[in-house]
Amino acid sequence: MARQPNTVIVLHPVNSAIITLDICLQLDDSLSSIWRKNMARSEDEVAMRTIERLQILLVQQKEGKNSRRMKREDLLKDSQPIHVFGLEIDEHEAEGQATAPTSTTLKTLDTSITNKLFWKRAKEMLIGSTVVKIKYNVPTITSIVPPSALYVGLPALCCGITTLFTSEIGILYEWCLCSTDSREHTNISVISTDAVFTPLEEHLGKNLVLRVSPEGDSGLWTQVDLPPVRAALTPVDRWKHTMAPAEAPVFRVVTYNVLHDEFCSTSAAKRRIYPFATDDILSLEYRQVRILQELLAYRADVICLQECGEKVYRQFFERILHHSGYDGRYTNKNGGVKEGCACFWKRTRFCMNETLVFPLNWTTLQEDHPDLVARLSLYPEFREALEKVTSIGALVLLKDLHTREELIVGNTHLFYHANACHIRLLQVYMLLHKLKIFAASQPSVVLCGDFNFTPTTGGYRLVTKGQTEAEHHSWKKGELFYWGCDRMLGVSTEEMEGVEEAAEEGASSSVPVTQPDKRQPPFEAFRETLSAPLQLRDAYSETGQELPWTNYAMTFREVIDYIFFAPTRLSVLRTVPIPPESELSENVALPNKQYPSDHLALIADLVYTSSSSSSSSSC
């Protein structure tokens, strides 16, 4: 609605037959007598009819109930005269041809022409003796999605803002507190003009209003009522370990698979994988707020997220974490499902120098390891799977602003299938080689992610020991797996069922959908000793914490998430213990009210070793 008194905003979008007049009038000298009205009229209606309707509305506003029985003619007779001034319309435009104004002098406009022609020339309206400005097709906010809930101490924002008559626009925000005085008048006071607003304890239970407006002098604003502010969400005990931030040269790393919304919101996922979880626990609105609270509680310097939806990254995490002091990068997987890996770093601690993103599939294998590809080509099931997997590796080269060290942070989410240990072994092989090339100047290396392999597999052995032998049992999975194989053969991660429904509806995904297939295992399995150019260490293993699980689902509980680091340049000072099983199993499995994903965040404090040397490069 129009913000400024005595202003009419006229909106006529392209291909719309409706013209909207957003009216804000000051009826007397008191600001409390502001009258607002929104009129929607046909573009083909004669302008005189629209003006007469406005005259009638003003009389009805003044006379109140007494005007209800008055005839139209009598209402018009009692109304104030309205004259509209604007740029002159020539004969060509009246016939439908677009022309430039013949003069910049304002003249009384002919009200016998259509609204379509009339209002685009209108600049000023005289209602009695009151001068009213007219603005046509100014930048306008047409819709916003306000936060569904507000919690004390947690940042909130609105998203999904759509606009008219502009493609890129700055937005002005007003978070307002509503109160009612003794005369039942509503008073609105602005308490914040930031895009991101954090309710305080004093706002608990109060009703707020959010007003947004295009930057500039459009005079239009959109207002939405917000739900009452709720009490702060209950913290969990493990957050006590990170009440103080790390101090240089120590830095804190968090890795977290945050459970993509599409994998837990479909009816199939709710029925088969998360039957124990209520809709409010699985709702993205609740989970994203709880994830944010958790991330902020860890006071991390570097955050790596997996299964981060592109939409929730753009509209929520990126904006709120930027407000909280982080910069970030998002990389979508290669498939049709819009989720991927996100990396954030604290701006006061790191700046970004360079990034590298690559698929962990057949294409990268061909480019970087042609000799290996020649041997793998003899195994069609292996090749087909590597051609279709959508996993990616995302590397970020950061500069430590305190120590001047360079730090490479890798983030990934490897292929999920339980019978695909051999696929993941090749994926991490490619990833380690890319890391080595990217780290040519010998900066420190941290590798985070959901690797979907356990400590007994060949993938884990390649990362931590630097070699996986041809005799390793992970290669044997190649006898069972082919793209489209029966997913009942031990598949147990959430991704399978969550995407199945989307795949059935025609979405592209990395999940093999069951199809009739004449192929029958066992197949001949590819076996070869692989050596890695880097040998990393498991942060939790180094601190003596043998984790029982990092993924705590209903039918699958294993360690598949890791923080790896290069011991030549880094060492681990401590890791944050995972919660006791009593907290995870209180509602059967995860997610629950306290933990918003079926994975647990891992947190490690790392420090540069004395053998590290400073670099002269800068951001």
Residues 206-231 have a mean pLDDT of 88
Q: In angstroms, how far is CA 109 from the centroid of its own chain?
A: 49
pLDDT band at 351 (very low <50, low <70, confident <90, very high): very high
Domain shared by 286 and 158, yes or no: no
Domain shared by 150 and 102, yes or no: no
2, part of any domain = no
230, part of any domain = no
36-40, 92-96, 247-251, 497-501: segment of lowest average pLDDT: 497-501
Domain shared by 443 and 532, yes or no: yes
pLDDT band at 221 (very low <50, low <70, confident <90, very high): confident
Residue 482, pLDDT score: 86
Domain shared by 125 and 151, yes or no: no
613, part of any domain = no
Q: For the packed helices 421-438 and 380-388, what is the interaxial angle rounded to 10 degrees?
A: 60
Domain shared by 30 and 153, yes or no: no
Number of structural domains found in the chain? 3
215 has pLDDT over 70: yes
Domain finish residue from 136, 167, 193:
136
Assess whether the previous peptide bond of 249 is cis (omega < 30° from 0). Answer: yes
Residue 436, pLDDT score: 96
Nearest-angstrom CA–CA distance, 56 and 43: 20
Residue 514, pLDDT score: 43
Residue among 237, 313, 262, 253 at smallest CA distance from 595: 237
Which residue would you say has higher pLDDT here, 305 or 510?
A: 305
409 has pLDDT over 80: yes
Domain shared by 263 and 382, yes or no: yes
3-state secondary structure of 454: coil
φ and ψ at 64, to 5 degrees? 65, -135
43-57, 83-97, 246-260: segment of lowest average pLDDT: 83-97
Q: Which two tokens stand for residue 289?
A: 């707020």
Residue among 15, 269, 317 at smallest CA distance from 155: 317
CATH number of the domain residue 186 falls in: 2.60.40
Nearest-angstrom CA–CA distance, 273 and 491: 12
202, part of any domain = yes
448 has pLDDT over 70: yes
22-26, 50-54, 327-331, 457-461: segment of lowest average pLDDT: 22-26
Which residue would you say has higher pLDDT here, 67 or 255?
A: 255
278 has pLDDT over 80: yes
602, part of any domain = yes
Domain shared by 256 and 208, yes or no: no
555 has pLDDT over 70: yes
Residue 233, pLDDT score: 95
- Beta-strand pair 159-164/140-145: antiparallel
Residue 490, pLDDT score: 38
Nearest-angstrom CA–CA distance, 276 and 558: 19
501 has pLDDT over 50: no
Range of the domain at 365: 237-608
pLDDT band at 186 (very low <50, low <70, confident <90, very high): confident
Domain shared by 251 and 202, yes or no: no
Provide CB contacts within 8 A for 409, sequence distance 6+.
253, 302, 304, 343, 345, 395, 396, 398, 446, 447, 448
Domain finish residue from 85, 108, 136:
136
231, part of any domain = no
Residues 211-222 have a mean pLDDT of 82
Total count of residues recorded for the chain: 619
The answer to whether residues 287 and 599 touch, using CB atoms and an 8 Å cutoff, is no
619, part of any domain = no
Nearest-angstrom CA–CA distance, 331 and 346: 19
DSSP assigned state of 203: G
| Placement of tokens 């005269």 in the chain | 81
Provide CB contacts within 8 A for 578, sequence distance 6+.
238, 547, 548, 549, 550, 600, 602
Mean pLDDT of the chain: 89
31 has pLDDT over 60: no
Residue 499, pLDDT score: 43
74 has pLDDT over 60: yes
The answer to whether residues 289 and 199 touch, using CB atoms and an 8 Å cutoff, is no
398, part of any domain = yes
3-state secondary structure of 22: strand
* Tens-digit pLDDT profile for residues 143-185: 899 999 999 999 999 988 888 887 666 889 999 998 876 666 6
Percent of the chain residues topping a pLDDT of 70: 88
70 has pLDDT over 90: no
Q: Return the ∠ at Cα 393 (arms to 578 and 296), rounded to 5°.
A: 40
103 has pLDDT over 70: no
pLDDT band at 497 (very low <50, low <70, confident <90, very high): very low
Domain shared by 546 and 571, yes or no: yes
Domain shared by 449 and 500, yes or no: yes
pLDDT band at 99 (very low <50, low <70, confident <90, very high): low
Domain finish residue from 180, 199, 225:
225
